[in-house]
Amino acid sequence: MTTPPEEPGAPPVPTSVPEPPRRRSRWPFVLAALVITPLVLFAVYTLGALGISYSEGDRAGYLQKFSRRGWLCKTYEGELAMSTVPGTAPTIWAFSVRDDSVARAVNAAIGRKVVLHYTEHRGVPTSCFAQTDYYVDAVRIDDARPGEPAALQ
């Protein structure tokens, strides 16, 4: 499009027509949403599974085994031998420890009679947090004879 010259005999002056604005592609945003949304949902589910306990309680027995295991994610895992009646085969209870200070206390009590306080977290999506559903968070050594108070750790 041209405008008429201002002076007679002058060449016409071209006017520029602005181009319409380009629409940005939505694909980068869609791809980012498809990647980020599952990661956020996984993180929220994991935090919920670790933050809400299904049950909690105490178990007593002889601490039989305790080690730090795993290929990539190292976790503290142990076994407690629980016997209901002397002379019967003990029931083995597997547990995990997430706190280093509790792990040191458990390691110091190997071979002794202990009471372990635990919380159960069902549905934790990966074994990087623990290999069992039972997370021990306190240890009490129970070497006392009947009628004596137990020593606290």
Residues belonging to the chain = 153
Number of domains, the chain: 1
Q: What angle do CA 44, 36, 38 make, to 5 degrees?
A: 50
> Is residue 116 situated within a structural domain?
yes
pLDDT at residue 149, as a whole number: 54
The two tokens of residue 104 are: 């040191």
Average pLDDT, the chain: 83
The enclosing domain of 137 has a CATH number of 2.40.50.140
> Is residue 13 situated within a structural domain?
no
> Is residue 7 situated within a structural domain?
no
CB of 62 within 8 A of CB of 115? no
> Is residue 124 situated within a structural domain?
yes
- For residue 101, what are the domain limits? 54-141
pTM, entire model = 0.68
> Is residue 73 situated within a structural domain?
yes
> Is residue 43 situated within a structural domain?
no
pLDDT tens-digit series, residues 134-153: 999 999 998 765 555 555 54
> Is residue 115 situated within a structural domain?
yes
Mean pLDDT of 1-5: 57
> Is residue 47 situated within a structural domain?
no
